[in-house]
């Protein structure tokens, strides 16, 4: 399919499609833009709010963790206590979430210790004091201190509204957490289940939460780290080493309320943004309708009017009424200039078409004149049985630059030749006719091929202002003896077929082309033709005939086709070559004239009459 056909097919499809007004397309674009901007605003607010919440939570968590650490350090023997709680978690009898009032088991244990060690203040016991205690008293003190400490961190948890406050000892790979303590709430039970305040010694696996593992791993170097755990945000601060393992103070904040608040706020701003965008879009659409689409419709209407009626003056008058000084005004001016250019172009095409028709008529006449100039009646000498000759010239354009000729010099000598001039079309045809007449006249006066070519070369050189040239193969055959004298002026090698044999190429000596250098000498040679011998001569348009991919026919293919059926007539010989060339080039364009001549010597007439 050609480019023009593709354009026409596409135009038909465009006409058949459902028409949608530009204003609706622009409106849809505005609505889509508003929705996209709203979504972007929603996501951006969520991200910004989440980031702000994380930073705020980090700051608050760090303050709570520092206060919790300070509460631990209030016990002079805090290192001993942490290690004891870690080592003897299963042995301790702890009373959780109690006050300092009398009547609790913790108060009774504290009274017992005071009774046993009246010289010491339980709040200020250090590690050396505790080493002097019995193992039973050490256990009692660890239980009392733990209960007091739990009461203290419960108050911290409540004061800061922290969901969970705890301390854990992590294993080497940070996959397991051993809970040293966990702050609780009043009237809420403790246990080892998720979302409960854990009791001492509870072990939890966090190997499936890489964020928690990384937070503990980085907490020491970063002075605190956050980790996301489901709907909770954890914060870890390094506390110290307990029995050779890292211990961390941890805080957990529920994200459900914060996320809901962030979602509500983000949704509100998204809706607000979309509504503002839609209001702006409606304003823009009204302006586009008035200042853009309305003038565009005027331009469109006049373009269609010109397409259907070709009334250029009326259309130009209508378009000149558009006074816009923006791109629409520029478009109307461009359309007016285009219509003016089309009108001028149409008039120019009409003139060119008329001129082409005149030239085509003249070329057609020239082609008929050229065809009539060449011998075109076959057989040309029906009364002469000594030879058969057939020739054809197929020009690449209306007129060609190749020519052939054959004529009787006298009753016993036949001249035949083929030539190719350097020009094509009219110039080549004129030079061809001049050269053909000159060669025929000179050969009739000087039957020697070499001498004839020398004289023709001088005459062409004497009057050749365009510096054109011609290649010629010329042969003169003695019809009585079969002796052929030939000379070659830069032309293609001829082929010869002796009776009962195949065609072979005659690589004769080439002289220089005619019309370039004066006083050139040409060499002739003789061949003995037996009855039944054929000579095949041609121009370079035969071996150089090319297919669409640029592959040439070549002399090898000429040789192959000639020898497929070598014993055929001169007419069939040329016909076989023509068929082979057509099959080879197929529908490729012809770039050069293609001319062929075949002559068969039958022997002297006298012998046939006897």
Read off the pLDDT of residues 251-291 as tens digits, 9 standing for 90 and up: 988 877 666 666 677 677 778 877 888 888 788 878 777 77
For residue 208, being part of any structural domain is answered with yes
**Residue indicated by tokens 């622009």:** 26
Structure tokens at 522: 């040409």
For residue 34, being part of any structural domain is answered with no
Q: Which residue has the higher pLDDT, 99 or 521?
A: 521
The predicted model gives 501-528 an average pLDDT of: 96
* Domain extent at residue 583: 374-609
Q: Which residue, of 221, 236, 254, is where some domain finishes? A: 254
What is the reported pLDDT for 370?
67
- Rounded Cα gap, residues 469 and 63, in angstroms: 106
CB atoms within 10 A of CB 49: 17
Q: Which residue, of 254, 279, 299, is where some domain finishes? A: 254
Which tens digit of pLDDT belongs to each residue from 36-76?
877 886 677 667 666 766 788 888 889 999 999 999 999 99
CATH assignment of the domain containing 555: 3.60.40.10
For residue 404, being part of any structural domain is answered with yes
Planar angle of CA 602, 607, 610, nearest 5 degrees: 135
Whether residues 388 and 241 share a domain: the answer is no
Q: Which residue has the higher pLDDT, 244 or 120?
A: 244
Q: Which residues contact 591 (CB under 8 A, 6 or more apart)?
A: 396, 544, 546
**Listed range (206-210, 473-477, 497-501) with the worst mean pLDDT:** 206-210
Which tens digit of pLDDT belongs to each residue from 532-549?
999 999 999 999 999 999
> Is residue 484 over pLDDT 60?
yes
Q: Which residue, of 226, 254, 282, is where some domain finishes? A: 254
Q: How confident is the model at residue 233 (pLDDT cuts 50, 70, 90)?
A: confident
- For residue 378, the 8-state DSSP code is S
- Rounded Cα gap, residues 136 and 490, in angstroms: 130
- Rounded Cα gap, residues 100 and 108, in angstroms: 11
Q: Pairing between strand 413-421 and 495-497?
A: unpaired
Q: Which residues contact 58 (CB under 8 A, 6 or more apart)?
A: 224, 226, 235
**Listed range (3-17, 95-109, 143-157) with the worst mean pLDDT:** 3-17
The domain tally of the chain equals 2
For residue 12, being part of any structural domain is answered with no
Q: How confident is the model at residue 426 (pLDDT cuts 50, 70, 90)?
A: confident
For residue 395, being part of any structural domain is answered with yes
Which tens digit of pLDDT belongs to each residue from 312-330?
888 888 877 777 677 777 7
Q: How confident is the model at residue 427 (pLDDT cuts 50, 70, 90)?
A: confident
CA neighbor of 516 nearest in space, from 589, 579, 466, 473: 466
For residue 313, being part of any structural domain is answered with no
């Amino acid at each position: 399919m050609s480019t023009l056909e593709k354009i026409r097919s596409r135009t038909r499809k465009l006409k058949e499609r459902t028409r949608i007004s530009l204003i609706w397309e622009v409106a849809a674009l505005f609505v889509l833009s508003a929705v996209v901007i709203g979504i972007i605003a929603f996501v951006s607010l969520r991200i910004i709010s989440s980031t702000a919440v994380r930073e705020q939570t980090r700051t608050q968590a760090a303050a709570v963790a520092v206060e919790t650490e300070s509460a631990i350090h209030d016990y002079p023997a805090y290192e001993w206590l942490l290690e004891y709680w870690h080592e003897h978690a299963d042995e301790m009898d702890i009373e959780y979430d109690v006050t300092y009032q009398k009547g609790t088991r913790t108060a009774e244990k504290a009274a017992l210790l005071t009774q046993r060690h009246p010289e010491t203040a339980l709040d200020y016991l250090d590690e050396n004091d505790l080493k002097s205690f019995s193992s039973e008293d050490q256990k009692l003190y660890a239980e009392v201190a733990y209960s007091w400490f739990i009461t203290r961190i419960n108050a911290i948890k409540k004061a800061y509204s922290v969901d969970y406050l705890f301390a854990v000892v992590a294993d080497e790979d940070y996959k397991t957490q051993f809970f040293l303590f966990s702050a609780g709430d009043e009237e809420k039970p403790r246990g080892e289940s998720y979302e409960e305040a854990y009791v001492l010694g509870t072990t939890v696996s966090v190997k499936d939460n890489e964020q928690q593992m990384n937070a503990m791993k980085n907490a020491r170097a970063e002075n605190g780290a956050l980790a996301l755990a489901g709907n909770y945000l954890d914060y870890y601060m390094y506390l110290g080493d307990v029995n050779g393992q890292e211990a961390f103070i941890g805080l957990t904040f529920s994200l459900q309320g914060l996320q809901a608040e962030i979602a509500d706020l983000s949704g509100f701003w998204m809706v607000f943004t979309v509504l503002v965008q839609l209001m702006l879009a409606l304003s823009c659409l009204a302006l586009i309708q008035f200042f853009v689409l309305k003038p565009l419709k005027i331009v469109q209407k006049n373009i269609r009017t010109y397409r259907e009626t070709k009334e250029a003056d009326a259309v130009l008058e209508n378009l000149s009424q558009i006074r816009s000084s923006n791109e629409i005004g520029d478009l109307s001016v461009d359309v007016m200039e285009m219509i003016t250019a089309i009108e001028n172009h149409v008039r120019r095409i009409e003139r060119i078409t008329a001129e082409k028709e005149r030239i085509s008529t003249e070329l057609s006449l020239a082609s008929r004149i050229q065809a009539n100039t060449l011998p075109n009646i076959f057989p040309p000498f029906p009364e002469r049985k000594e030879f058969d000759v057939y020739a054809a010239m197929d020009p690449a354009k209306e007129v060609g630059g190749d020519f052939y000729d054959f004529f009787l010099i006298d009753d016993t000598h036949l001249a035949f030749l083929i030539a190719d001039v350097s020009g094509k079309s009219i110039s080549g045809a004129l030079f061809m006719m001049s050269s053909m007449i000159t060669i025929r006249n000179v050969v009739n006066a000087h039957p020697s091929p070499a001498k004839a070519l020398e004289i023709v070369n001088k005459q062409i050189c004497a009057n050749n202002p365009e510096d054109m040239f011609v290649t010629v193969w010329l042969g003169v055959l003695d019809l009585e003896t079969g002796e052929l004298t030939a000379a070659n002026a830069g032309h293609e090698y001829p082929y010869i077929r002796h009776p009962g044999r195949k065609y072979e190429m005659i690589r004769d000596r080439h002289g220089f082309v005619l019309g370039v250098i004066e006083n050139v000498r040409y060499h002739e040679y003789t061949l003995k033709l037996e009855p039944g011998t054929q000579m095949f001569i041609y121009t370079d348009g035969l071996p150089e005939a090319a297919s669409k991919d640029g592959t040439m026919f070549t002399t090898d293919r000429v040789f192959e086709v000639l020898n497929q059926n070598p014993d055929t007539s001169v007419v069939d010989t040329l016909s076989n070559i023509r068929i082979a060339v057509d099959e080879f080039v197929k529908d490729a364009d012809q770039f050069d004239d293609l001319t062929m001549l075949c002559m068969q010597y039958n022997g002297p007439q006298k012998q046939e009459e006897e």
